[in-house]
């Protein structure tokens, strides 16, 4: 007696922002009519039974009137989302004899079916395409709206499928689908940001600090009275950052695809991510997590900027949750079912008022906060978190005389040129040490990458005692000094560079 072999179709599941292979096995056997899906499916996958059954019938195909069992392997991996509709439908047609197994061999399938058989876009098409390429697959079939995104992966035939009927005709050879033209790596221009340094009058000291932060990828905290210009400075940060490389753009695109935030107008993100969550955001929203772990704002800001306005007003768990990503450039989310890691290489730009009323130290308005309120406000940000910030900048009020002066501020394009040149120097020097920007340099490599003269060592020793600098804060001072030298195009760090870096340490924390 010949054994009946189930039909097997390859698909993908999202685990964090990565795709892992999933085999869709369909077995059509004798018995009372039933349609069972096993393999830890969630509610959305269970509901695919009705979507697949109706889509097959509305596309002109028959549905088996026997016992049908669909297994999503591996069985210990939880399956979520509607992207299994298309591979389940194909596996049923192969299992029932309507198509041959060979027609789908060497290909991956993902897609959500509508009741009329058309395909809707799904999350994570780029991650699935990267998986298919890594496993040596020849082709991947995705919804037509995801085709341009998946085609960012070279060396893989990407077919944009408009409907189930069109896919079946293609696999049977009666009508061919044309593969999506491969997306060649484009030249990624710097973002044309509406905010520009040229529109900010005065605040030269703060703009200098922003330039240093942008050049080295450093974290920066802006402190000043309401209306002094903190938010405007922060919002102008993307305008002085260099354009993303193609690899960086691909990283950002993959994350935003998984989060369903990828712009429809372009399959590739060209502007650096800018994320500015409100201070009422939850820990899961900012750091990442949830019952089914998803990327948070720190991951969505990967390769870009995370702006936290009203920094002390964020819940304490959110602020303390920033400590790991600021140090390790990644977020680890642990659950009973397993541990996931999300990338989180971002620049933190934070802004705060000096006190609850906002006018402590203001030359024009008196502070009305009692001493205990002021102390409580300052303690909202813990010492370990403050230690992970590289530059502290006081943003003073700009006199009216400077506000009324127009046309004398340096535009962002000029600043961006210096920042790009400094980052190029860093990339070439730091590459053997596994770092891109100076902020990425590990402490053990600082002596090799940032030697300083004896005068600078004496200055740093004196400052460490007066300012009570921790070893981490000293390392961050050295990284900032290294960036200052890079901005000037100098190979060696000099004493004035260390002195300027020390100016950006907090005086009253």
pLDDT digits (tens, 9 = 90+) for 355-390: 888 888 888 888 888 988 888 988 899 989 999 999
- Digit-coded pLDDT (tens) for 446-492: 888 999 999 989 998 898 888 888 888 899 999 999 999 999 999 99
Helix (H, G, I), strand (E, B) or coil at 465: helix
The pLDDT of residue 297: 96
pLDDT digits (tens, 9 = 90+) for 226-278: 888 899 999 999 999 998 888 899 999 999 999 999 877 778 888 899 999 99
Residue 4 has pLDDT above 60, yes or no: no
Higher pLDDT, 447 or 292: 447
Class of domain 197-413: alpha beta
pLDDT at position 189 is 58
CATH of 7-172, one of 2.40.30.10, 3.30.230.10, 3.40.50.1820, 2.60.120.650: 3.30.230.10
Domain boundaries, the chain: 7-172, 197-413
- Range of lowest pLDDT (110-114, 222-226, 314-318): 222-226
Beta-bridge partner residues of 351: 222
Q: What local confidence, expressed as pLDDT, does residue 498 receive?
A: 93
Per-residue pLDDT band for 1 (boundaries 50, 70, 90) equals: very low
Which residues share a beta bridge with 25?
8, 71
pLDDT at residue 2, as a whole number = 39
Model confidence pTM above 0.85: yes
Please, are residues 117 and 85 in contact by the beta-carbon 8 Å criterion?
no
> Strand pairing of 220-223 and 347-352?
parallel
Q: What is the pLDDT of residue 269?
A: 87
CB neighbours (10 Å) of residue 194? 9
Give me the pLDDT at residue 508, please. Answer: 52
β-pairing verdict for 119-120 and 112-113: antiparallel
Q: What is the pLDDT of residue 3?
A: 45
Q: What pLDDT does 185 receive? A: 60
Q: Which pLDDT score is estimated for 403? A: 59
Concatenating the DSSP letter of every residue in 262-278 gives --TT-SS--SPPEE---
**Residue 183 pLDDT exceeds 90:** no
Strands (E), 355-417: 391-394
pLDDT of 26 > 60? The answer is: yes
Q: Tell me, what DSSP letter sits at residue 219?
A: -
The average confidence (pLDDT) of the chain is 89
Residue 327, CA distances (Å) to 23, 282, 320, 412 in order: 38, 21, 12, 29
């Amino acid at each position: 007696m010949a054994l009946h072999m189930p039909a097997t179709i390859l698909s993908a599941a999202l685990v964090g922002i990565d795709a892992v292979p999933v085999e869709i096995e369909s077995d059509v056997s004798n018995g009372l009519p039933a349609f069972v899906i096993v393999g830890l499916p969630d509610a959305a996958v269970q509901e695919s039974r009705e979507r697949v059954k109706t889509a097959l019938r509305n596309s002109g195909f028959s549905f088996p009137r026997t016992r049908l069992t669909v297994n999503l392997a591996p069985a210990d991996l939880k399956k979520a989302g509607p992207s299994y509709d298309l591979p389940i439908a194909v596996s049923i047609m192969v299992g029932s004899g309507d198509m041959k197994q060979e027609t789908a061999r060497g290909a991956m399938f993902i897609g959500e079916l509508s009741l009329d058989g058309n395909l809707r876009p799904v999350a994570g098409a780029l991650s699935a395409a990267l998986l298919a390429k890594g496993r040596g697959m020849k082709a991947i079939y995705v919804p037509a709206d995801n085709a341009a995104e998946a085609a960012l992966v070279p060396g893989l035939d990407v077919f944009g499928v408009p409907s189930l009927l069109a896919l079946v005709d293609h696999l049977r050879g009666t009508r061919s689908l044309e593969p999506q033209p491969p997306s060649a790596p484009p030249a990624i221009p710097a973002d044309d940001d509406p905010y520009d340094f040229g529109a900010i009058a005065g605040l030269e000291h703060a703009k200098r600090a922003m330039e240093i932060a942008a050049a080295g990828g450093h974290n920066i905290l802006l402190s000043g009275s309401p209306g002094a210009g903190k938010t405007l400075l922060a919002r102008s940060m993307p305008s002085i950052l260099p354009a993303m490389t193609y690899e960086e753009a691909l990283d950002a695109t993959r994350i935003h695809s998984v989060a369903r935030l990828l712009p429809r107008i372009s399959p590739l993100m060209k502007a650096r991510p800018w994320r500015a969550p409100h201070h009422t955001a939850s820990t899961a929203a900012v750091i990442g997590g949830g019952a089914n772990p998803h990327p948070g704002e720190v991951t969505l800001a990967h390769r870009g900027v995370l702006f936290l306005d009203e920094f002390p007003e964020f819940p304490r768990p959110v602020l303390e949750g920033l400590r790991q990503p600021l140090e390790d450039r990644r977020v680890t989310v642990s659950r009973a079912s397993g541990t996931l890691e999300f990338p989180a290489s971002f620049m933190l730009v934070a802004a705060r008022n000096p006190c609850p009323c906002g006018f402590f130290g203001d030359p024009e308005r008196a502070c009305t906060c009692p001493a205990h309120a002021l102390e409580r406000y300052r303690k909202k940000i813990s010492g370990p978190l403050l230690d992970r910030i590289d530059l502290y900048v006081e943003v003073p009020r700009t006199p009216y005389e400077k506000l009324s002066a127009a046309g004398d501020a340096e535009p962002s394009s000029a600043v961006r040129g210096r920042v790009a040149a400094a980052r190029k120097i860093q990339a070439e020097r730091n590459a053997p040490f596994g770092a891109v920007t100076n902020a990425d340099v590990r402490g053990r490599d600082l002596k090799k990458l940032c030697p300083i003269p004896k005068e600078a060592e004496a200055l740093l020793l004196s400052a460490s005692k007066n300012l009570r600098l921790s070893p981490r804060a000293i390392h961050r001072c050295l990284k900032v000094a290294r960036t200052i030298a890079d901005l000037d195009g100098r190979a060696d760090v000099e004493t004035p560079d260390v002195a300027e870096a020390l100016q950006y340490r907090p005086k009253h924390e």
